[in-house]
Amino acid sequence: MSQLALAVAAVALFAGACSSSDEPSTQSGGSSVTAPAPKGAGNSGGTLTVFAAASLTESFTALGKEFEAAHPGVTVKFSFAGSSGLVQQLTNGAKADVFASADQANMDKAVQGGVIDGQATVFATNKLAIAVAPGNPKGIKSFADLNKAGLTVVTCAAQVPCGSATKKVEQSTGVTLKPKSEEQDVKQVLNKVQSGDADAGLVYVTDATSAAGKVDKVDFPEAQQAINSYPIAAIKGGQAELAHQFEEFVLGTEGKTELGKVGFGAAQ
Amino acid sequence: MLGVPAALALALVVLPVVGLLVRSDLTRLPSLIATPSSWHALRLSLITAALSTLACVLLGVPLAVVLARARFSGVRLLRSVVLLPLVLPPVVGGLALLYLLGRKGFLGMLITTLTGESVPFTTTAVVIAQTFVAMPFLVVSLEGALRGSGDRYEQVAATLGARPWTVFRRVTLPLLLPALGSGVVLSFARALGEFGATITFAGSLEDVTRTLPLEVYTQAEVDIDSAVALSLLLIIVAILVIAVARPRSWEGGLR
């Protein structure tokens, strides 16, 4: 009896190992039933897998629903994570149809890794803002205010896009911050401001807007010095036609509306 | 008949490490590891893991003895509470610590009022996070050994007139040494690999809170080769720790 159980476990392990390489590796890990898209039948079905930067979570989730409504039979699945992590997954063979990056550098990496089909198109821009506790109790009004004595400031690490944007602003203003922590992604910075452990954090305008009510947003003009672009592209070996339709959807009026809601800027 | 699943189990542990080895450029390994950031991270990791192991021993040994010898009802529930950090996702542990010891947490508020200092973003926070996740390993090893050995020797010592503290020092502790050895190694290794609770509760800043696992994560964003090299370094350190401590604690048996 126990031998039978062991054998079953071993078989399950192998089956799991084999099937996982065929499936799109989404963040949620849920297995999906991928209906084969009928050839030449236009957009009458199929699953579109989109790998997108974490900062696109709110807007792309809404866009995905609208896309499904406009394309009956199509299911859109998302994997939201840090852009560089997504590039790692893609270059290591993860199956997807569309990749939307939070910066050009990671899209370039994906292109170099040979996973991008055709050209990447910039669909939005983003810039930094200061997130503070509701009501701004510490009275932070400018970027230079972040260096006031006794403030706990948290930023992104220089290795991630929001951190490199922070570095650019520091260079252009001559204000060198002394953060208490350099977080790995922008949502972690936001969390530390929300929990009250940081007085201020440098996040994207869009993250501060999405978290309205839990944090206040302080805009500062120097953020103009570090605008980052969000490019989108189709993945090689994916469903080219459907991917292209989704790209157009993001670049079109629906995309502009949803992205604008959380504060993304237009492509420049 | 057990050979096949046993080999599979072993392969599940060994092959991923082989994958890392194959992926890495061994000739470039020394230059990838020998960066100031890596050394700072390694040093911080070794220091904090040693401190948290010490904390695990100071707090975990008495807890294990109490749990093993306690006769009151509810000790079972207590035991599962102690084991909670083993099953909690590390980020949950980090959040829990943050909402206890963070600036808005009730204990954190008290500490800030009394000392003017706050715990998050400090090396102390790293040690607390590591102790939180590592202590169950020590408690489990010790408690198992204590239950296995029973308390006959202690009772005999007590009937011969030894005071409780003398019994603990001269009888209980020596009996526990092998299990204590393996518990210490496990705690140290777990503390060394701690990631989620640290990054959530303590943050990530070079020389203050960025331990080796956090450095690996940070490097993986920009330079996967150096992240792989640092991962190998972490594995080497972990294997050294286990290898150095193994002969006495594991091969010596628990009895």
Contacts with B, A 203-232, CB within 8 Å: none
Rg over CA atoms, chain A = 21
Structure tokens at A75: 């299911």
Contacts of B4 in chain A (CB under 8 A): 6, 10
- Give this prediction's pTM: 0.79
By the CB < 8 Å criterion, does A184 face chain B? Answer: yes
pLDDT for res B64: 92
pLDDT at residue A55, rounded to an integer: 87
Instruction: Note the pLDDT tens digit of each residue in B16-73.
Output: 999 988 888 788 888 888 889 899 999 999 999 999 999 999 999 999 988 988 877 8
pLDDT value at residue B246: 64
Of B237, B140, B122, which is closest to residue B187 (Cα–Cα)? Answer: B140
In this structure, how many other beta carbons lie within 10 angstroms of the beta carbon of residue A101? Answer: 28
- What gap in Å lies between CA B180 and CA B161, rounded to an integer? 26
Contact: A88, B118; criterion CB under 8 Å: no
For residue A28, say whether it is annotated as part of any ligand binding site: no
Q: Stretch B170-181: mean pLDDT, rounded?
A: 85
Interface with chain A: mutation pick from B98, B122, B205, B214, highest number of A CBs within 10 Å: B205
DSSP string, A133-167: -TT-TT---SSGGGGSTT--EEEE-TTSHHHHHHH
Confirm if B254 and B140 have CB atoms less than 8 A apart. Answer: no
pLDDT attached to residue A83: 87
Q: Which residues contact B246 (CB under 8 A, 6 or more apart)?
A: B185
pLDDT at B198 over 90: yes
Q: Which of A113-122, A131-140, B107-116, B157-166 has the lowest mean pLDDT?
A: B157-166
User: What residues of A are in contact with residue B1 (Cβ under 8 Å)?
Assistant: 3
Among all chains, which residue has been given the structure tokens 């029973």? B150
**Backbone phi, then psi, for A161, in 5-degree steps?**
-50, -45
Measured in angstroms, the CA of B173 and the nearest CA of chain A are apart by: 39
Tell whether B224 lies on the interface with A, counting CB pairs under 8 A.
yes
Contacting residues of B for A138, CB less than 8 Å apart:
none
The answer to whether A230 is annotated as binding is: no
Q: CA nearest A190: which of A246, A259, A123, A128? A: A128
Long-range contacts of B2-8 (CB under 8 A, 24+ apart): B2/A6, B4/A6, B4/A10, B5/A6, B5/A7, B5/A9, B5/A10, B8/A10, B8/A13
CB B201 within 8 A of CB B52: no
Coil, strand or helix at B174: helix
Res B254: pLDDT: 45
Paired residues of A121 in beta bridges? A232
Q: What is the C-alpha to C-alpha distance for residues B247 and B252, in angstroms, rounded to an integer?
A: 7
**Residue A186 is labelled as binding a ligand:** yes
Residue B189 pLDDT > 60:
yes
B219 and A159 within 8 Å at the Cβ level: the answer is yes
Q: Of A131-145, B104-118, B234-248, give the lowest mean pLDDT range.
A: B234-248
According to the model, what pLDDT value does residue B247 have? 53
Residue A265's pLDDT is 93
pLDDT along chain A (268 residues), means of 10: 50 45 39 41 71 91 95 94 88 92 93 94 96 96 94 92 92 94 90 93 93 94 93 95 95 94 89
Burial class of residue B187, CB neighbours in 10 A (0-12, 13-18, 19+): buried
| Main-chain phi, psi angles of B235, to 5 degrees | -65, -40
ipTM of the complex: 0.75
Question: A208-217, B141-150, B181-190: lowest mean pLDDT where?
Answer: B141-150
Residues of chain B with pLDDT > 90: what percent?
47
